[in-house]
Amino acid sequence: MWGAASEMTAAMPGVDRAASLRVAAFPVDGPAGELGAFCSPECAQTVDGHLAGQVSEELALKAYEEAALTSAAAVHRVAVDEGFRNAVGGGDAMLERALGNLVESGADGPRNRAYRRDAELVAKFWQRYCAKTEFGTTRPIEVLESAERVLTPPDGGFALGSALLDELEPAFDAAGRRTEVGVHLCAASLDELSAGEYLAVLSDPVTTSGEHAPRTTVGRVVTQRATWRTTIAESELAEVVGPRERYFAARRWRAELGLPERVFVALADETKPMCVDFTSPIFTAVLCTALRASADHDVAVTITEVLPGPGHAWVPDEQGHRYLSELRIH
């Protein structure tokens, strides 16, 4: 129900369209929002070969320059994307200035220090926008028995009246979508589930506290993503300067820890993780900048595999673009 309700908000009269836009996500295969827009796997392979002594420095540098140009073009596409600009507009003066600078300089503008600062800022906001973690929180929409279509409860916000679902039912049936009122999926009552013998089942999975915890599965269900733990100082990335040097250092660090190409990196002194693609020159730069900006280099760093990834996207829209979706069980 929650997924269906969130889709309805964009077209419903009386609902804040801006708020709906802020929690929208790019499809994994969309144009400016393509998750692979900043990826450079060929460059990563060449640089890895150089670090292993199998590829010349000349070829590695050439591959990096080509990847940097690809990233610059991708940043420009994001900067001029109307949906992205509308979603982030007015909320951050530095971002507004960065977007303006990138649009003005064009896709072939100079890649100087000012450009790198603006590009990293836009890329950081873009990945948070795609992850729906930056522009306001999302929450389930309550459905109440009522002849009204949209309700305004006394505690603020809004709720949907059941009459609206009745009106939309033919459209959802035609689209192959269903709306259901939440029901218990367990034969036992909530009181029984709260009893001591069930608490172990309801508890969070137990994981190791070492440097690496492998992925935990029960049958086909992943109960814990693979994680790696280190510190900013141990990574040595905070001290690296220069975009090319940062990329080479990040590739070396990834290989040393055995990390996947795409991960979430969480700093203990930050509230939100960042998505990092190690094949991307711009996202490795964003990572190094974030590590360098931390006042305490003994801060813990937790790296988690991105799972599910873009290849697992299964929710289609009318244009055939595919999205990831969550089923949360409480």
Q: What is the dihedral of CA 163, 164, 170, 171, to 10 degrees?
A: 180
pLDDT tens by residue, 316-326: 666 676 666 65
> In 3D, which of 105, 36, 45, 101 has the Cα closest to residue 71?
36
The amino acid that residue 114 corresponds to is: A
Burial pattern 195-210, b for ≥16 Cβ within 10 A else e, equals eeeeeeeeeeeeeeee
- Reported pTM: 0.68
Within 10 A of 153 (CB to CB), how many other CB atoms are there? Answer: 10
pLDDT tens by residue, 96-106: 889 888 888 88
Q: What angle do CA 99, 105, 107 make, to 5 degrees?
A: 90
Residue showing tokens 């993503």: 225
pLDDT tens by residue, 11-42: 333 333 333 333 344 444 544 445 577 889 99
How is residue 271 written in tokens? 């509230």
pLDDT at 80 over 60: yes
For residue 298, with 0-12 CB atoms within 10 Å meaning exposed, 13-18 middle and 19 or more buried, which class applies? exposed
What are the structural domain ranges in the chain?
A: 1-15+145-183, 16-130, 212-311
How is residue 5 written in tokens? 């309700």
Per DSSP, the three-state class of 325 is: coil
pLDDT tens by residue, 237-290: 999 999 999 999 999 999 999 999 999 999 998 878 888 999 999 999 999 999
Share of the chain above pLDDT 90, in %: 31
How is residue 175 written in tokens? 């689209």
Within 10 A of 273 (CB to CB), how many other CB atoms are there? Answer: 17
